[in-house]
Structure formats: structure tokens, C-alpha cells
């Protein structure tokens, strides 16, 4: 079963139980910039935050640390939670279309080190949707990432 079919199956199982999909995302600060993922052309937002699903038995903090290693090839530490957003997403599994509720906690993380090779990296699940990693200012990130531009997440000063 390929990655997207497995993901759709998981979403369908949650839908049948009436449970939301728990997710985590992170704004990762490296010096005076933020590490974001560049979206492919034609997407509504220029960038996205790294992150993903919370596995069974995993805390949100553990999940975001794992996701950042997997997606960006970096070690980081959690500074604080910036809040939780909720949204619906559309799925299809076994010819059934359904909407799933998502609850995503957004964290501020601090870059510690690269995991290996002293460079950023992305796992294969992104190849069609993204075009690499960028370092951007806080203003650019807040204006061009959904969670900040429209999702209601704010940096507390």
C-alpha cells in the first residue's frame, strides 16, 4: 500500500470513530530567520510549515521533534506552543468521500543542529508538492504561511 493510500485509510478509520486527526506544525527559528518549506507554483500560499501527524501514544511535543528530523533533517528544541488551529480536510478511501476534522498544534522551535550532512533535507512524500527549503524573515513567514496568514496563529511578543 503506497503512502497516500495508507494515509487515506488512517483518515477513514478516524472518521468512522468520529475522532479528529491530530497534527503538529512548527515555525523553526534559525538565527534571525525561519525554516519553511517552499510550495510548488500555483499553490495558494508560498510556504508551509514542516510537521505532520501525531502517532498513537505520542505527545505533540515528541511528534513535532520527530517530524522536524524526518522532514527538515535538523535537531531542534521546543520553545513554546503558539496555539491550536482546527480545520476540515477532504478525503477519499474505498470510493467513499468524507471530511475529517483536524486539530493542529503549532510550535515555535529553535534550531540546534543538522541531523546529518550539515544541510536541510526533505523526505520523498513532498516531491510533487514542494520545491525545497527556504530561510525567511518572520514577516515573510507570517504573510505567506496559512497558519499565520489565515489560520489565526500569532507570535506573542
How far is the C-alpha of 132 from the C-alpha of 6, rounded, in Å? Answer: 24
pLDDT single digits (tens) 49-67: 999 999 999 999 999 999 9
pLDDT single digits (tens) 126-148: 555 667 889 999 999 999 999 99
**Pure H helices in 53-96:** 60-72
pLDDT single digits (tens) 87-138: 999 999 999 999 999 999 999 999 999 988 777 877 655 555 667 889 999 9
Instruction: Tell whether pTM > 0.85.
Output: yes
Taken in order of first residue, the domains within the chain and their CATH numbers are: 22-79+106-149 (3.90.79.10)
Q: Is residue 148 exposed (0-12), middle (13-18) or buried (19+ Cβ within 10 Å)?
A: buried
Amino acid at each position: 500500500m503506497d503512502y497516500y493510500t495508507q494515509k487515506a485509510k488512517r483518515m477513514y478509520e478516524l472518521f468512522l470513530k468520529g475522532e479528529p486527526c491530530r497534527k503538529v506544525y512548527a515555525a523553526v527559528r534559525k538565527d534571525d530567520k525561519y525554516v519553511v518549506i517552499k510550495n510548488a507554483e500555483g499553490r495558494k500560499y508560498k510556504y508551509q510549515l514542516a510537521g505532520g501527524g501525531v502517532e498513537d501514544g505520542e505527545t505533540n511535543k515528541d511528534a513535532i521533534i520527530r517530524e522536524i528530523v524526518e522532514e527538515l533533517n535538523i535537531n531542534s528544541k521546543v520553545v513554546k506552543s503558539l496555539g491550536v488551529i482546527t480545520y476540515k480536510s477532504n478525503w477519499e478511501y474505498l470510493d467513499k468521500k468524507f471530511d475529517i476534522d483536524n486539530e493542529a498544534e503549532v510550535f515555535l522551535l529553535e534550531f540546534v543542529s543538522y541531523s546529518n550532512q550539515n544541510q536541510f533535507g526533505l523526505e520523498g512524500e513532498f516531491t510533487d508538492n514542494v520545491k525545497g527549503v527556504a530561510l525567511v524573515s518572520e514577516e515573510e513567514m507570517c504573510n505567506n504561511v496559512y497558519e499565520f496568514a489565515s489560520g489565526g496563529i500569532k507570535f506573542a511578543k
